[in-house]
């Protein structure tokens, strides 16, 4: 989760695509994600809760707030994200249910 947040702060679309699970990867959206990520000023990541996600696990969730400054306002992305292991690497799957 922290590495993906850092990738957003750096508008690193390649890493965001690489760390997104192959079944849900939004390849066509890469450029739009990079443009948006560059257009805001990232403030901080606040991890609120994690479930599973240890080395022995194959899936887990992270609930977080990502704060950024846009158009004169502080905004927040609040999300519960699902992660799964793919080829022994943690991959972002999407919103957790």
Return mean pLDDT, the chain.
96
For 25-47, b/e burial (b = at least 16 CB within 10 A) is: beeeeeeebbeebeebebeebee
Alpha-carbon gap, residue 56 to 71, rounded angstroms: 43
Query: Tens digits of per-residue pLDDT, 24-55?
Result: 999 899 999 999 999 999 999 999 999 999 98
50 forms beta bridges with: 62
As beta bridge partners, residue 73 has 70
Question: What pLDDT is recorded for position 91?
Answer: 97
Nearest alpha-carbon partner for 82 in 36, 46, 47, 51: 51
pLDDT at 60: 97
pLDDT by residue (tens digit) across 52-64? 999 899 999 999 9
The total of structural domains in the chain comes to 1
d(CA 91, CA 15): 11
Q: What is the mean pLDDT of residues 6-22?
A: 96
Q: Does residue 1 surpass a pLDDT of 90?
A: no
pLDDT 10s digits, 77-97: 999 999 999 989 999 999 998
Q: What domain range is 90 assigned to? A: 2-95
CATH number of the domain that residue 62 is part of: 3.10.450.50
**Residue 97 to residue 78: CA distance in whole angstroms:** 14
């Amino acid at each position: 989760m922290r590495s993906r947040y850092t990738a957003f702060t750096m508008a690193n679309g390649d890493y965001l695509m690489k760390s997104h699970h192959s079944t849900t990867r939004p390849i066509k959206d890469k450029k739009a994600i990079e443009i948006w990520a560059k257009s805001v000023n990232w403030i901080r990541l606040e991890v609120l809760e994690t479930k599973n996600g240890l080395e022995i696990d194959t899936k887990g969730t992270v609930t977080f707030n990502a704060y950024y400054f846009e158009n004169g306002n502080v905004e927040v992305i609040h999300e519960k994200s699902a992660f799964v292991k793919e080829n022994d690497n943690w991959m972002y799957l999407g919103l957790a249910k």
